[in-house]
Amino acid sequence: MRKAASRGYAVSKPWGDCERYDFVVRFRKVFWRVQVKSVRDKSPQRRHYRLNTSNWLKLPYSPEDIDFLVGYIFPEDAWYIFPAVIVQNRNVLCITPNSKRSPYEKFREAWKLMEQPTTNQTSPEPLKI
């Protein structure tokens, strides 16, 4: 939440823990539901970090639940901003920071995605006021 606020986004936390997202980010008149996941270390004998993209019931997040999944990799001090359509139907993403072969490197520090009116034609429309 601090990182998003430091980038100029308004941040709101839902009352209680009853929502499927961690907080809401507002950019101008658009609100996004954001889920945050983090990774503290690599899997043993692997080059990549395994970012969990499912909820506490082990069900993957979908565009009906969230608009973005934000992943933080502690050892790399790296933030990844994934639109929900990227993580839907997946329980984990294998992220290799600084790899040109990684399909996810384009989402590293991709905060600008939250400044667009929609993230993808298949995503639900953001709430506008």
CATH number at residue 24: 3.40.1350.10
Instruction: Tell whether 119 is covered by a domain.
Output: yes
The 3-state DSSP class for residue 47 equals coil
pTM: 0.85
Average pLDDT over residues 83-98: 95
**Burial grade of 39 (CB within 10 A; 0-12, 13-18, 19 or more):** buried
Distance from CA of residue 78 to its chain's centroid?
A: 12
Instruction: Tell whether 90 is covered by a domain.
Output: yes
Instruction: Tell whether 40 is covered by a domain.
Output: yes
How many domains, in total, are found in the chain?
1
Residue 8's domain comprises 2-123
For residue range 2-50, what is the model confidence (pLDDT) as tens digits? Answer: 888 888 888 888 877 778 898 999 998 899 999 999 999 887 778 899 9
Instruction: Tell whether 128 is covered by a domain.
Output: no
CA dist 58 and 128 (Å) reads 31
Instruction: Tell whether 129 is covered by a domain.
Output: no
